[in-house]
């Protein structure tokens, strides 16, 4: 008997989890999978659906999956906070006769040394790693960690995700994409999500925007929100902020400029005004007080020095959503898949070059942003002397 343990928030559980269960069983010769919903997911900066609701949803999934996974409630024992260094040894003992192996995503692998007492987690049982995004560097990191923690075993899994994530599904539910939900959720889970009205906290905002914007601009906004939430795991921003900033970035575009030109920073071109108006509308018309969201909208066109992770995510979502097809978009997308800061810097340089080629001067904030990235990159490459 050989058992694989798959932990996760499962908020919600979806068809990629099912594909992963099948792939892990095959690759590791597992007889069964244990699903372990996490109590308090680390590195998630916002509340998730409560544990009992996720547990109920997971049991529906287990029943209809055809793979007979077991739902394990171990983390409850460690309420209010369960760490892997506590749960893994506990599970190793619980499943001692079943040769257990713990499954993690490559995003967790690359943060493994930041886990609390990683040596205890590494010693508890072998850890198999499925790629999140591409599989670049996963095998190397597995061997590196094996030498950092002698006696540990890290196994890279060849598994190709279909690109479904819980964030994508939350996005689909928020924007009412029924056919998307049909494709990504098992039927019982889809019904459960609808009955409990999960992931509908922003539907009023979506409907307000739909009513106000021309269709083309509304669809661009929705695609931007999709890009943002499906890339937010790269920079650690939460679902709500990522979704709202990208969704509302152009919310003022048809109404801009909303104020006399003297109210905008000196030298602001008329087409740039909508970023400031957008920040205003987010706060005053959409009632969002989160200054990170307001700022990300306020600088989505020009960027600024000191770009935050949410600023970069929003800036890129606007430029790289799937409807964008300008020359160079594909190569920027490839950079963004592994480094949002590098993609932002590359996109800003491209914009500045383009404007200069037309004899126009980029906005001051754009020039400051480019300068800021140059300095940052210079420091990282060790070419900058510290004075
Ligand atoms: Fe815009
Ligand atoms: Fe836009």
pLDDT of residue 166: 92
Please give the distance, rounded to the nearest whole angstrom, from the Cα atom of residue 250 to the centre of ligand 2: 5
145 phi and psi angles, rounded to 5 deg: -65, -30
Please give the distance, rounded to the nearest whole angstrom, from the Cα atom of residue 175 to the centre of ligand 2: 18
Residue 309's domain comprises 201-380
Per the domain annotation, does 175 fall within a domain?
no
End-of-domain residue from the set 156, 178, 210: 156
Which ligand lies nearest to the CA atom of residue 271 in the structure? Answer: 1
Please give the distance, rounded to the nearest whole angstrom, from the Cα atom of residue 301 to the centre of ligand 1: 6
Token readout for 149 is 């923690």
Per the domain annotation, does 243 fall within a domain?
yes
pLDDT tens digits for range 99-121: 999 999 998 899 999 999 999 99
Same domain (yes/no): 133, 72: yes
Token readout for 53 is 């609701």
Collapsing DSSP to helix, strand or coil, 224 comes out as helix
Whole-angstrom distance, CA of residue 352 vs CA of residue 350: 6
End-of-domain residue from the set 101, 133, 156: 156
pLDDT over 90 percentage in the chain = 86
Distances (CA, A) of 239 to 167, 277, 303, 381: 7, 23, 21, 32
pLDDT level of residue 227 (50, 70, 90 thresholds): very high
For every residue of 129-184, DSSP letters joined together read EE-SS--TTHHHHHHHHHHHSTT--EEE------S--HHHHHHHHHTT-HHHHHHH
Please give the distance, rounded to the nearest whole angstrom, from the Cα atom of residue 43 to the centre of ligand 2: 29
pTM as predicted: 0.89
Q: Where do the H-state alpha helices sit in 232-308?
A: 239-248, 273-284, 291-298
Q: What residues contact 202, with CB distance under 8 A and at least 6 apart?
A: 174, 240, 243, 244, 247
Please give the distance, rounded to the nearest whole angstrom, from the Cα atom of residue 318 to the centre of ligand 2: 5
Report whether 104 contacts 129 (CB < 8 A).
Answer: yes
Q: Which residue has the higher pLDDT, 233 or 245?
A: 245
pLDDT level of residue 163 (50, 70, 90 thresholds): confident
Same domain (yes/no): 214, 152: no
Cα 150 from chain centre: 32
Write the CATH number for 16. 3.40.50.620
pLDDT of residue 47: 63
Please give the distance, rounded to the nearest whole angstrom, from the Cα atom of residue 320 to the centre of ligand 1: 12
Per the domain annotation, does 332 fall within a domain?
yes
pLDDT of residue 5: 97
pLDDT of residue 44: 55
Per the domain annotation, does 171 fall within a domain?
no
Distances (CA, A) of 62 to 27, 41, 70, 98: 20, 21, 7, 20
Please give the distance, rounded to the nearest whole angstrom, from the Cα atom of residue 179 to the centre of ligand 2: 25
pLDDT tens digits for range 269-328: 999 999 999 999 999 999 999 999 999 999 999 999 999 999 999 999 999 999 999 999
Which ligand lies nearest to the CA atom of residue 256 in the structure? Answer: 1
Please give the distance, rounded to the nearest whole angstrom, from the Cα atom of residue 208 to the centre of ligand 2: 17
Please give the distance, rounded to the nearest whole angstrom, from the Cα atom of residue 227 to the centre of ligand 2: 12
Same domain (yes/no): 235, 372: yes
Per the domain annotation, does 191 fall within a domain?
no
Same domain (yes/no): 118, 224: no
Tokens 């960027």 sit on residue: 303
**Angle of CA points 76, 164, 190, to nearest 5°:** 65
Q: What residues contact 313, with CB distance under 8 A and at least 6 apart?
A: 228, 231, 232, 235, 237, 242, 245, 246, 296, 340
Q: Which residues surround ligand 2, an ion (CB under 5 A)?
A: 250, 318
pLDDT of residue 140: 96
Please give the distance, rounded to the nearest whole angstrom, from the Cα atom of residue 220 to the centre of ligand 2: 7
Collapsing DSSP to helix, strand or coil, 371 comes out as helix
Domains contained in the chain, number = 2
Q: What is the mean pLDDT of residues 157-168?
A: 88
Please give the distance, rounded to the nearest whole angstrom, from the Cα atom of residue 82 to the centre of ligand 1: 42
pLDDT of residue 235: 92
Please give the distance, rounded to the nearest whole angstrom, from the Cα atom of residue 55 to the centre of ligand 2: 38
Q: What residues contact 145, with CB distance under 8 A and at least 6 apart?
A: 109, 112, 113, 122, 152, 154
Is the bond leading into 80 cis (omega within 30 degrees of zero)? Answer: yes
Q: What is the mean pLDDT of residues 335-363?
A: 95
pLDDT of residue 386: 38
Whole-angstrom distance, CA of residue 117 vs CA of residue 85: 6
Which ligand lies nearest to the CA atom of residue 221 in the structure? Answer: 2
Same domain (yes/no): 151, 262: no
- Is the confidence at residue 229, as pLDDT, over 90? yes
Which ligand lies nearest to the CA atom of residue 324 in the structure? Answer: 2
Per the domain annotation, does 164 fall within a domain?
no
Q: Quick one: which of 29, 40, 39, 38 has its CA closest to 3? A: 29
Please give the distance, rounded to the nearest whole angstrom, from the Cα atom of residue 44 to the centre of ligand 1: 28
Q: Quick one: which of 62, 10, 63 has its CA closest to 37? A: 10
pLDDT tens digits for range 136-149: 899 999 999 999 99
End-of-domain residue from the set 156, 187, 220: 156
Write the CATH number for 275. 1.10.3210.10
Which ligand lies nearest to the CA atom of residue 220 in the structure? Answer: 2
pLDDT tens digits for range 192-201: 999 999 999 9
Which ligand lies nearest to the CA atom of residue 275 in the structure? Answer: 1
- Mean pLDDT, the chain, rounded, equals 93
Please give the distance, rounded to the nearest whole angstrom, from the Cα atom of residue 249 to the centre of ligand 2: 6
Same domain (yes/no): 145, 244: no
Same domain (yes/no): 9, 117: yes
Per the domain annotation, does 329 fall within a domain?
yes
Which ligand lies nearest to the CA atom of residue 252 in the structure? Answer: 1
Same domain (yes/no): 107, 219: no
Per the domain annotation, does 189 fall within a domain?
no
Same domain (yes/no): 134, 33: yes
Q: What is the mean pLDDT of residues 78-83?
A: 86
């Amino acid at each position: 008997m050989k058992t694989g343990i798959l932990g996760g928030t499962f908020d919600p559980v979806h068809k990629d989890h099912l594909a992963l269960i099948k792939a892990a069983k095959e690759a590791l010769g597992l007889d069964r999978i244990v699903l372990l919903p996490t109590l308090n997911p680390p590195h998630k900066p916002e509340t998730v659906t409560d544990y009992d609701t996720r547990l109920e949803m997971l049991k529906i999934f287990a029943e209809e999956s055809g793979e007979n996974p077991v739902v394990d409630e171990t983390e409850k024992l460690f309420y209010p906070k369960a760490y892997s260094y506590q749960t893994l040894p506990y599970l190793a003992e619980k499943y001692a006769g079943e040769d257990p192996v713990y499954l993690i995503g490559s995003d967790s692998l690359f943060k493994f040394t930041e886990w609390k007492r990683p040596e205890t987690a590494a010693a508890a049982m072998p850890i198999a790693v499925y790629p999140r995004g591409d599989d670049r560097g996963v095998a190397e990191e597995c061997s590196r960690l094996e030498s950092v923690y002698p006696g540990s075993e890290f196994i890279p899994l060849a598994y190709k995700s279909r690109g479904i994530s819980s964030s994508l599904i939350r996005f689909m539910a928020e924007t009412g994409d029924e056919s998307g939900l049909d494709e990504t959720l098992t039927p019982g889970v889809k019904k459960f999500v609808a009955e409990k009205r999960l992931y509908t906290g922003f539907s009023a905002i979506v409907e307000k925007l739909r009513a106000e914007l021309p269709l083309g601009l509304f669809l661009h906004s929705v695609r931007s929100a999709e890009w943002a939430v499906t890339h937010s795991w790269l920079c650690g921003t939460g679902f709500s902020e990522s979704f709202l900033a990208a969704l509302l970035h152009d919310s003022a575009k048809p109404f801009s400029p909303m104020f006399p030109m003297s109210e905008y920073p000196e030298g602001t071109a008329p087409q740039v005004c909508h970023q400031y108006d957008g920040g205003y509308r987010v706060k005053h018309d959409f009632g969002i007080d989160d200054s990170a969201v307001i700022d990300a909208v306020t600088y989505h066109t020009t960027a600024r020095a000191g770009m935050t992770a949410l600023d970069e995510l929003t800036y890129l979502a606007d430029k790289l959503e799937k409807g964008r097809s300008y020359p160079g978009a594909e190569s920027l997308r490839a950079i963004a898949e592994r480094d949002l800061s590098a993609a932002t810097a590359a996109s800003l340089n491209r914009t500045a070059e383009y404007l200069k080629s037309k004899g126009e001067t980029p906005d001051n904030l754009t020039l400051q942003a480019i300068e800021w990235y140059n300095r940052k990159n210079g420091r990282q490459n060790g070419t900058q002397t510290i004075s």
